[in-house]
Amino acid sequence: MTMGDSTQSAVAIDRRLVYVNSASSAAARLLNVFVLVWMYQYLLERISSEEFAIYPVIVSVMAFAPLFSSLFTGGVSRYVVDAYARRETEQVTRLISSLFPLLAVFGVVLLGLGFLFSWHIDHVLAIAPGQLWDARIMMVLLISSFLLTFILLPFGVGFHVKQKFVYLNLIEVARTVLRIVVLFVLLFGVSTRVLWVVVATVCAEVAATLLKTLVSRRLVPELRFRPRLFDFKTAKKLLGFGFWTSIGQLVAMIHTSAAVIILNQFGTSIDVTAYYIGSMIDRQIRTMTSMAVSPVQPAVTAMHATGDLNRMGRAYLRGGRYALWVTLLAACPLSVYSQEFVQLYIGNTYAETAIVIILLMGTFPFIFSTFMLGPVAIATARVRVFFLGAFITQVICVGLMVALVHWMEAGAVGVAFAIFVVHATANVVFFWPLGLTLAGEKLGRFLRQTIVPGLMPSLVGLVVWGGLKLHDAPDTWMELGAYTAIGALFYAAALYVYCMEPHEKDDVAWGIRKVAGLCRL
C-alpha cells in the first residue's frame, strides 16, 4: 500500500517521545557502566596484568566484527523506516526478504573463518604464555554470539519503526541483570578468571537477541521472510548504502580498538591496561550517546521523508546542544578529578590513566557538538562524504599513534594525545561545516544555539570543581562524590537559568511530573 498524502507519516514524530526513548536508552547503558566499573576493579585486584590484558585485546579484535554486518545491514533500518513512514508495507517485507538470504550465507562463511582465526590467534596477537586456551575460548564464544545477532538483525528493527525504545531498553536491562547473575555465580562460585566475563556476556547476549527478535516481529508483523519477494535491485540498493555505513563502522572500530592493538604490539601490558581503563568512561559515554541517538534516527528519517527540512535543521542544532550538556556533565568532573579517581580506583600502578582520561574527555566539546551529523547524513542518504571523511580522520590518527608509541615510546599517553589532536582539528575544519551543510543551517545559528549554550554550564561547573580541589583535594570516595554533586548542582542551575529555551523548561517540568507520577504508583 502506498501513502496517498506524502505529508502524513506512519512513523511518529514527537519531541517528548524522543526524549523518553533517549533517556531510557541512556539509563539502560548507565546500569551497564556501573557493572563494568566494579568488574574491572575486582579483577585487577586479583589477577595479573598479563591475564587481564587478554580481555581488552580480544574485545578490541571483536570490535571489528560489526564492520562485516554493517555492509549488509547498514541501510535496513533507514529504508524500513522510510518505507513504513510512506505506508508502503509490502516494501518493508521486500526489504527483509531481499536481505536475509545474503546474511545467512555470509554468516556461515564468517563462522568458519572465525573458528580458524581463533585456533591460530597466537600467530596474530601477542598472547602471554599459559593464556592461549582462554583466548581461543573467548574468541569462539564472542564470534558465535555476534553471528547470531548478525543473522537476526533485520527482524529486530521493529523497535525503530514503532519507536518502542523503552521496550528495547527494558530488554537491555534484563540482559545486564542476567549478565551480572551469571558473572557472580562464576566469579564467586567457580574461580576468579577473566574468561568468565566473556562467558557471562555471551549468555546474556544470546538470550537478549532472541527476545528482541520475537518482540520486534510482534510490533511489526511485516518483518518476515518471503522468498517470492526477493529482489536483486533492492538487495543492491541496501548493499550500496551499507558499503558506506560499513566504512563508518570501520571508523568506529578503529577508534575503539586501534590504540589497544598498537599498544599490544609496541608497548607493554601496563600500557594496554592503563589506556583501556582510562578510555573506559570515554567508550561508555560514546556507547550511551549512540544508544540515546537511536530513537532520534527514525524521527529524523521521517522528517526527511515527508519534506519537513526546517524541523530537521532545528533538531540538528538542538541535538548538539543536548549532547554537550549531558556529556560534559560527566567529562568535566572526570577531568578535574582524574588523578584522584585513578588513585582511589586502581592505585599508582596505572598512573598514566589519569592523563588518558583528561585527553579523551577534552575531545568532547568538538565531537558532541555535531552529535546529530550521523543521523542527518543517514536520513538524507548522503553518507558517502560523511563516512569517507571520518575514515580519513582515523587513518591519520592511527599513523600518529604508531609514530608516538613505536618510535617515541609515548605509551598510553601517546595514543590519547593523538586522538585529541586529530579529532579536535578534524571536527572544527571538516565535520562542523559538513553538518551545517547537510542540515541546511548557518554557522552563526550553530554558534548561538549549540556551542555557546552547550558549553556555558561546563564553564560554571569547572570553576566550582576546580575551586573545591584547590581548597582541599578529595582523598575518599565519599569526598569525591560530594564534590562532584556540588559542582553538578551549579552546572544544572546555570543550564536551567541561562541556557534552556522556554519550551525546554516546559519539557523538564513535564518530565518531573511524569517521574513523580510513577513514584506515586
The larger pLDDT score, comparing residue 203 to residue 117, is at 203
> Residue 6's pLDDT is what?
38
Number of other residues whose CB lies within 10 A of the CB of residue 472: 9
3 within some domain: no
pLDDT above 60 for 368: yes
pLDDT above 70 for 312: yes
Give buried/exposed letters for 314-330 (b at 16+ CB in 10 A, else e): bbbbbbbbbbbbbbbbb
Read off the pLDDT of residues 77-120 as tens digits, 9 standing for 90 and up. Answer: 777 877 777 778 888 888 888 888 888 888 888 888 888 888 88
Nearest CA among 96, 88, 3, 7 for reference residue 302: 7
Give the whole-angstrom CA distance, residue 373 versus residue 386.
8
Give the whole-angstrom CA distance, residue 364 versus residue 342.
20
108 within some domain: yes
Cell, residue 185: 555465580
520 within some domain: no
Read off the pLDDT of residues 402-453 as tens digits, 9 standing for 90 and up. Answer: 999 988 888 889 999 999 999 999 999 999 999 999 998 999 999 999 999 9
510 within some domain: no
Give the whole-angstrom CA distance, residue 151 versus residue 99.
10
Which domain range does residue 299 map to?
15-502
Nearest CA among 277, 520, 502, 294 for reference residue 412: 277
Give the whole-angstrom CA distance, residue 14 versus residue 501.
18
Average pLDDT over residues 57-76: 69
Give the whole-angstrom CA distance, residue 24 versus residue 2.
33
pLDDT above 70 for 20: no
Give the whole-angstrom CA distance, residue 376 versus residue 313.
9
Average pLDDT over residues 52-76: 69
517 within some domain: no
Contact call for residues 251 and 391 (beta carbons, < 8 A): yes
- Percentage of residues of the chain with pLDDT beyond 70: 83
518 within some domain: no
> Residue 411's pLDDT is what?
86
Give the whole-angstrom CA distance, residue 299 versus residue 280.
30
Nearest CA among 250, 236, 217 for reference residue 102: 236
Count of helices and strands (H, E) across the chain = 25, 0
268 within some domain: yes
Read off the pLDDT of residues 223-246 as tens digits, 9 standing for 90 and up. Answer: 888 888 888 888 877 777 767 677
Complete DSSP assignment for 384-430:
HHHHHHHHHHHHHHHHHHHIIIIIT--HHHHHHHHHHHHHHHHIIII
Average pLDDT over residues 186-193: 81
pLDDT above 80 for 129: no
- Percentage of residues of the chain with pLDDT beyond 90: 29
- State how many domains the chain has: 1
Q: What's the mean per-residue pLDDT of the chain?
A: 82
Give the whole-angstrom CA distance, residue 68 versus residue 74.
10
372 within some domain: yes
Give buried/exposed letters for 124-158 (b at 16+ CB in 10 A, else e): ebebeeebeebbbebbbbbbbbbbbbbbbbbbbbb
Angle, CA of 149, 238 and 305, to the nearest 5°: 105
